[in-house]
Structure 1
Amino acid sequence: MQIYPSTTERRFPEQQIDSDLLVAGGGLAGLCAAIAAAREGLQVVLVQDRPVLGGNASSEVRLWANGATSHMGNNNRWAREGGVMGEILEENLYRNKEGNPVMFDLLLLDMARSEPNLRLLLNTAIFDVTTADRKITAVNGFNAINETFYTFRAAQFCDATGDGVLGYRAGAEYREGAEPADELGEKMAPGDNFGHKLGHSIYFYTKLTDGPVTFVPPSFALQDITSIPRYKRLTSTLNGCDLWWLEWGGRIDTVHDSEEIKWELWKIVWGVWNYIKNSAVFPEAANMTIEWVGNIPGKRESRRFIGDHLLSQADIIEQRDHYDAAGYGGWSIDLHPADGVYSKHDGCRQFHSKGTYTIPYRSLYSRSLDNLFLSGRLISASHVAFGSARVMCTCGLLGEVVGRAAAICHQRQLTTRQLADPVLVGALQQKLQRRGCYIPRQRLTDPALGAQVTTSSEFVLRELPADGGWTAISERMALLLPLKAGETLPVLTLKMRASEVQSVTLSLLTSATAGNFTPDLPLDECQIEVQQPADYPVTFRYTSDRDRYLFIVLEQNPGVELALTNTVLPAVMMVFNSRNERVAKQSRQQAEGDYGVDEFDFWLPRRRPHQIMPALRLATPLRCYASDNLLNGHLRPEQHTNAWVPAVEDPQPTICWHWSVAQPITALTLILDNDFDNAMETVQMGHPLAVTPHCVTHYRLWADDRLLAEVNDNRHSVCRHLLTTPLCVSTIRLELLQTAGALPAVYALHVD
């Protein structure tokens, strides 16, 4: 028994926690920043004001995380985020391919708790900041669950809170709303009619039961469904998370009026459900119930802080490559009307660039303070550019950039701005790539420290057998095929058939911009008369001036069928001139006004298990997967496959890296294949496979005659092995013992 007498004053406990880096905000941006910094040896504290990690991706909001792949609905091939963000996506696919939001919460908590240098505090809200001499020196937080006040002291701070609590309380420069069109020359800048801020959304789940379910709406439910101009788009079959356009709040303060916005969204959600259940328009909804409704809104936009570079529309549409490019994006510029669900505008205005764009390091720190990094949706970007960079996988990727940058600043005693020096920032770019973070149109210098490489065999593309049935050419389709600089495209033979004589037009196209997969440059064209099943040679006259992917396009003709193969290859695929309704209105981007964007066709892959490949034969074999790809410093397919693939008949594929003089080694990082084109959305959508077919699932790694590691259940594209004791090594040998079902593909070995 403990008895406490009456007193005039009581105080909550107080704790002081010191660290190298304090990360505020436990969404994907903050989590990736904290994990990356902790793995670099920094002592990190991650402070999150919610009971779970993940932010809008958590079970509290339940929005799927997406990024540059844009639901595989744009032309950004092999663009999925790498590094820690990629690890999260791949591990979630393995553990949770069904897309259960609660299991995604568990994964994120597990990853945070598994890092020995990372201390996690949940349910802890930051409320005050102390500064001196252009630096944050301390941050104060309060946990209402354990009634404890915290003082956090650190050398560096990362604001990933979404609303920018650290930056705001520290007095850093920030903006809200949209810049005028003439400030940055942004033709997508919205006018007052469209509105200058994005609102919030609340999502819900529905469930079909065995019998009728009565629904009595709450008193605050929306009464007049016609006040929602788009109400006729509502159906009983839509999952509530598909109704992202049930949005509101862009006309008011999206920080301080968040509670008002939440109540309005609850009003909307329950009004919509009342309409579905009780209007008699949807009799099939009689047995349906709502299983879950979000208790907090998913917030899109509030404060954006100012760094030394303000990312703009031109950076995205022109795909500008900055000297300090450290991350990238690829989601469309996706702007929503400020009135949200009550607006007469469409729910969003989306325009894609022709490929991925880079994000400079200078957008990831505050120019007002010397030790404040910015990550997530509060980076230095205009409202228009923010419309693309705000999506969660991009935020997570940028979080890792900040975590690695913080480690370099700590080791070299640099301010955030000093690392942006053109001479110094290369160290960050190289470190990111060495850890598996892809940066478009960049490469890692000497990944294997001068090693020579030999392999047990090599897959050479000669022929793909016609053992996969037939498909009608019912839409425009294209084979994406890589060609090296100086190579001539060989005669390509396809097997086709038709019930009567038909003409098929074939075109050869490529991208004018290196590394893009938008075929905007025509090269050649031919026509073939098809009838009886036969081999039909296709001849294009083309010799490549550089490494590039070619689009061998078959124009639509449903009267002709193409023979298929069951063979699947890494970094070679079929794409289709089609649309993904989640991110585009039609199969061609058309501006319908002067928005300063490009018009072009979308060429999309099909998701597994619906992808197809044509049977083919090449007059001259192509060495798409040569062993020297392992040393070129590229982390994935871009201007070529950049992968080594063994021959089909190789009984034990092996790679050896050799040095004439033994090298000191402390760590080895393998870059393997786990289908960088697969969007791997985190929740709700579900995926057919836990590991993609070309991933090496079982391998052995040897240093001379010493077994360093045997991994039996790999599901990652980036596999880092830290040596407990440094070794001097003459040969590293990798034995590939099993894949997830297809030919293995290896991109690189990075040696530290």
Structure 2
Amino acid sequence: MLIGTFHKEKRDNKTIKLVCDLSITGGGTAGVCAAITAARKGTKVVLIQDRPVLGGNASSEVRLWILGATSHMGNNNRWAREGGVIDEILVENLYRNREGNAIIFDTILLEKVLSEENITLLLNTVVHDVTKSSDTQIESIKAFNPQNSTEYVVKAPLFCDASGDGIVAFSAGASFRMGAESKEEFGELFAPDKSYGELLGHSIYFYSKNTSNPVKFKAPEFALKDIKQIPRYKAIGKDDNGCRFWWFEYGGRHDTIYDTEEIKYELWKVIYGVWDYIKNSGEFNDVDNMTLEWVGTIPGKRESRRFEGLYMMKQQDVIEQQEFDDAIAHGGWAIDLHPADGIYSDLSACTQWHSKGVYQIPYRSFVSKDIDNLFLAGRIISATHVAFGSTRVMATTGLCAQAVGMAAALCTQKSLKPADILKNGEIENLQNELNIIGQSIPNIPVKSKTNLIDSAKIEVSSELEISEIPFDGSWFKLNISTAQLLPFKAGQNYNFKLLVQADEPTQLEAQLRTSEKPKNYSPEVILEKQTIHLEQGEQYITIEFSNTVSQDQYAFVTFLSNDKVSLKTSNKRYTGVLSVFNGVNKAVSNNGKQVPPPNIGVDEFEFWTPHRRPEGQNIAMKVYPSIRSFSSKNIGNGYVRPWGEVNAWVADLNDETPTFKVEWDEAKTVSEIKLFLDPDYDHPMESTLMGHPEEVVPFCVRNYVIKDLEGNVLYKVEGNYQTINDFKPEEPLNLKGFTVELEHPSKDVPAAIFEILCR
């Protein structure tokens, strides 16, 4: 029995002191990815999260899907899904949770963090104070967990603030901003004026479900009474759930930190008023048996403080795809700004302007300009309000935070401060270490000198040559313009034979298109146009283009819409090859063409985007000369996804045992063999609510075996579904070479490897 006697002085709660290499505040997507990345490099991490679950806005408490550069497949950023840890998490979620259950996603994040022995996780723990050893140095932070009445003091040489509101950076005195900059400060032509608003607001979502019996609903007294206070109330659908109601937003004219509770009550007012409208207005059919299943209890925040780093990203960096020497990640979500009045605004609920391709994000935006040992991560990084409209989304913040975690590991190993990474070639080391874990920094490959493959002789059992995309699929009605995206060789003219069906005599307009920038996928350059006369019925047509690309890059064999014409498609799918369509994707303000108002610094261009599987078959065709972009020479070029070219070795489908052989002139000491496989970087893999067509992407090699040159099995994998497969023997091996024997993923998809890293 424990008896507490009267104390004249106040009692103190239990205090635990922790010492680590890196203290991370915030367990959202950014904090989780930073912690895992640092921990896997041997860095001791304390991860502090003020909620009972990880994931932040992606968690079951808020239930927003994770998205980034893929943008619901609604832009021209091909093969752009974020790599590394965030890819690992989303691929794992696809395998276990293709239906998008937010509760299951919670468990995946928790498992990933708990499996890292170098991470100490503190859930339900709120950071409330900072101790500084000097004006520019944080010594420790204090946090409190009301669940176990314990105070934590965490001391570290390095700190990362990924808390969303920037509690550590703010308490430490770091420079910050809230609201929109003027057009004049950074020359941003899209900077909003005061009438449009200052901040993006918060959102709360709800889920409903059908039951077997009628369910009544009496609205609470605080619920919104007049649904017409919501100008877009007619857009409310009775079957919509969760983050499909992303536009239930409020708070942009408030202090989105200190007024959060007030904003929350207003959003509850909206939610229960909306449900009252759905249930009791008489405007909806078949709602008698519907009931509320879940309503969020905390708002998902979009914007509050942004802290000043060594560089502040701006609109031009996004739209013009500025390149940086210290690039550590890429972005690709639209510049996505919302009116400050949110759901009560007469304006469009969001204004999204896309760049023509992905853009680089510099390391300097993650280093505080004021506090020497502080990293910034998540939505608080150094960016203007306009640039933040793109960098703020969760897949992007996760990818960027991986760079913070890796930088912290390098700082720990070499006793550096965050800014020191910019000196003495350390940024190149950071970039390379990131790319080795799948970061895929645009235009920056894995350094060949760090890969033993660079000095090896390579032999393969076969190489894919596309002389024909077989005519074994269904018919596709050409009611929207479509194109086959293919990797062309510089200076090579190609001919194409297709099978078409015409409902009546008509004309088919064909074009050869490409992109102004060779590593973009916006087909704004029309190299050639042709008109083909069609008779009624099925017929083969031949297209001979006399023009071609001036350097190795993707081209679009394009067919303009004609609803009297159908094209034969193929069931075959290949790594680095897909069909795209000039269609509409309302989810990301894509009406087929981006037409911005004049003088806002945004480009006008068409959107050519894939269809989600099981749709989106390739166009069947014969190709002469054959497409020969799938060579074994791609292995070792340092790129681990398509980037301007395929960058993969792909075996021939007729090869029953695809084999990749590596051999050196003399034996090497090998401690790691890492395979980079194809997880379909074009598929967004939304984490929540939105289901997916399969639990393993069709391009991913499932089964393979690694053998030494004498045929001894070194490593065997069955049922793989992950992107990066890492074989690390217990003791380094002395090898003259090795082979990788693979199985094709299916009869319609050949085996492919982007890269093999050996060291």
Helix, strand or coil: the match of 1:575? Answer: strand
Q: 1:555 to 1:422 in 2, by over 3 A?
A: farther
1:318 to 314, 317, 320: 320
What do residues 340-369 of structure 1 show as CA deviations (whole Å, max 9, x unaligned)? 111111100110000000100000110111
Corresponding residue of 2:659: 654
Q: Judge which range, 267-276 or 494-503, deviates more.
A: 494-503
Helix, strand or coil: the match of 2:198? Answer: coil
The reply to whether residue 625 of structure 1 matches residue 598 of structure 2 is no
**TM-superposed deviation, 1:336:** 0.5
> How far apart are the structure 1 equivalents of 2:709 and 2:433?
26
2:516 to 502, 512, 515: 512
Superposition pairs for residues 521-532 of structure 1, below 5 Å? 521-531=525-535, 532=537
- The answer (yes or no) to whether the contact 1:692–1:740 under 8 Å persists in 2 is no
What do residues 45-101 of structure 1 show as CA deviations (whole Å, max 9, x unaligned)? 111111100000000000000000000000001000000000001000001001100
Q: Judge which range, 700-709 or 405-414, deviates more.
A: 700-709
Residue identity over aligned pairs, in percent, reads: 46
Helix, strand or coil: the match of 1:46? Answer: strand
Corresponding residue of 1:674: 679
Superposition pairs for residues 353-368 of structure 1, below 5 Å? 353-368=355-370
**TM-superposed deviation, 1:727:** 2.7
> How far apart are the structure 2 equivalents of 1:727 and 1:186?
55
1:717 to 723, 730, 733: 723
- The answer (yes or no) to whether the contact 2:64–2:242 under 8 Å persists in 1 is no
> How far apart are the structure 2 equivalents of 1:245 and 1:357?
26
Helix, strand or coil: the match of 1:591? Answer: coil
- The answer (yes or no) to whether the contact 1:496–1:563 under 8 Å persists in 2 is yes
> How far apart are the structure 2 equivalents of 1:183 and 1:552?
43
- The answer (yes or no) to whether the contact 1:326–1:361 under 8 Å persists in 2 is yes
> How far apart are the structure 2 equivalents of 1:582 and 1:647?
38
Corresponding residue of 1:193: 195
The reply to whether residue 480 of structure 1 matches residue 482 of structure 2 is no
- The answer (yes or no) to whether the contact 2:38–2:45 under 8 Å persists in 1 is yes
2:500 to 496, 505, 510: 496
- The answer (yes or no) to whether the contact 1:459–1:625 under 8 Å persists in 2 is yes
- The answer (yes or no) to whether the contact 1:695–1:740 under 8 Å persists in 2 is no
Helix, strand or coil: the match of 2:751? Answer: coil
Superposition pairs for residues 50-449 of structure 1, below 5 Å? 50-133=51-134, 134-421=136-423, 423-446=425-448, 447=451, 448-449=453-454
2:618 to 594, 610, 613: 613
> How far apart are the structure 1 equivalents of 2:717 and 2:746?
14
> How far apart are the structure 2 equivalents of 1:433 and 1:732?
23
Corresponding residue of 1:746: 753
The reply to whether residue 561 of structure 1 matches residue 566 of structure 2 is yes
- The answer (yes or no) to whether the contact 1:699–1:738 under 8 Å persists in 2 is no
Q: 1:235 to 1:622 in 2, by over 3 A?
A: closer
The reply to whether residue 578 of structure 1 matches residue 612 of structure 2 is no
Q: 1:100 to 1:240 in 2, by over 3 A?
A: closer
What do residues 709-730 of structure 1 show as CA deviations (whole Å, max 9, x unaligned)? 2121211111223333223322
> How far apart are the structure 2 equivalents of 1:556 and 1:55?
43
Helix, strand or coil: the match of 1:638? Answer: coil
- The answer (yes or no) to whether the contact 2:63–2:242 under 8 Å persists in 1 is no
What do residues 398-435 of structure 1 show as CA deviations (whole Å, max 9, x unaligned)? 11110111111122222111212373211111111111
> How far apart are the structure 2 equivalents of 1:397 and 1:703?
35
Corresponding residue of 1:729: 735
- The answer (yes or no) to whether the contact 2:653–2:744 under 8 Å persists in 1 is no
> How far apart are the structure 2 equivalents of 1:387 and 1:682?
21
**TM-superposed deviation, 1:234:** 1.8
In structure 1, stretches of 5+ residues that fail to align are none
Corresponding residue of 2:550: 545
Helix, strand or coil: the match of 2:733? Answer: strand
- The answer (yes or no) to whether the contact 1:673–1:744 under 8 Å persists in 2 is no
> How far apart are the structure 2 equivalents of 1:231 and 1:82?
38
> How far apart are the structure 2 equivalents of 1:87 and 1:52?
19
Corresponding residue of 2:14: 13
Q: Judge which range, 527-536 or 117-126, deviates more.
A: 527-536
> How far apart are the structure 2 equivalents of 1:207 and 1:252?
33
**TM-superposed deviation, 1:483:** 1.2
Corresponding residue of 1:460: 465
> How far apart are the structure 2 equivalents of 1:579 and 1:721?
43
Helix, strand or coil: the match of 2:156? Answer: strand
What do residues 562-611 of structure 1 show as CA deviations (whole Å, max 9, x unaligned)? 11222111211110001211001511001134321001101110001111
**TM-superposed deviation, 1:701:** 2.2
Supply the AA of the counterpart residue of 1:384: V
Helix, strand or coil: the match of 1:297? Answer: coil
**TM-superposed deviation, 1:23:** 0.9
> How far apart are the structure 1 equivalents of 2:717 and 2:703?
5
**TM-superposed deviation, 1:384:** 0.4
**TM-superposed deviation, 1:541:** 1.2
Aligned-CA RMSD value: 1.4
Q: Judge which range, 543-552 or 598-607, deviates more.
A: 543-552
Q: 1:160 to 1:740 in 2, by over 3 A?
A: farther
- The answer (yes or no) to whether the contact 2:631–2:650 under 8 Å persists in 1 is yes
TM-score by length of 2: 0.97
- The answer (yes or no) to whether the contact 1:696–1:740 under 8 Å persists in 2 is no
Helix, strand or coil: the match of 2:151? Answer: strand
Q: 1:544 to 1:661 in 2, by over 3 A?
A: farther
**TM-superposed deviation, 1:707:** 3.3
The reply to whether residue 24 of structure 1 matches residue 25 of structure 2 is yes
Helix, strand or coil: the match of 2:702? Answer: strand
Helix, strand or coil: the match of 1:724? Answer: coil
> How far apart are the structure 2 equivalents of 1:24 and 1:369?
15
Helix, strand or coil: the match of 1:697? Answer: coil
**TM-superposed deviation, 1:148:** 0.6
TM-score by length of 1: 0.98
**TM-superposed deviation, 1:28:** 0.6
Q: Judge which range, 557-566 or 319-328, deviates more.
A: 557-566
Supply the AA of the counterpart residue of 2:742: L
Supply the AA of the counterpart residue of 1:514: P
> How far apart are the structure 2 equivalents of 1:485 and 1:426?
30
> How far apart are the structure 1 equivalents of 2:570 and 2:454?
40
What do residues 519-573 of structure 1 show as CA deviations (whole Å, max 9, x unaligned)? 0111111111122422211011134321100011101111112112221112111
**TM-superposed deviation, 1:3:** 2.9
- The answer (yes or no) to whether the contact 1:484–1:640 under 8 Å persists in 2 is no
> How far apart are the structure 2 equivalents of 1:421 and 1:526?
54
> How far apart are the structure 1 equivalents of 2:691 and 2:121?
29
> How far apart are the structure 1 equivalents of 2:730 and 2:364?
36
Corresponding residue of 1:48: 49
Supply the AA of the counterpart residue of 2:252: G
> How far apart are the structure 2 equivalents of 1:46 and 1:730?
43
Supply the AA of the counterpart residue of 1:598: D
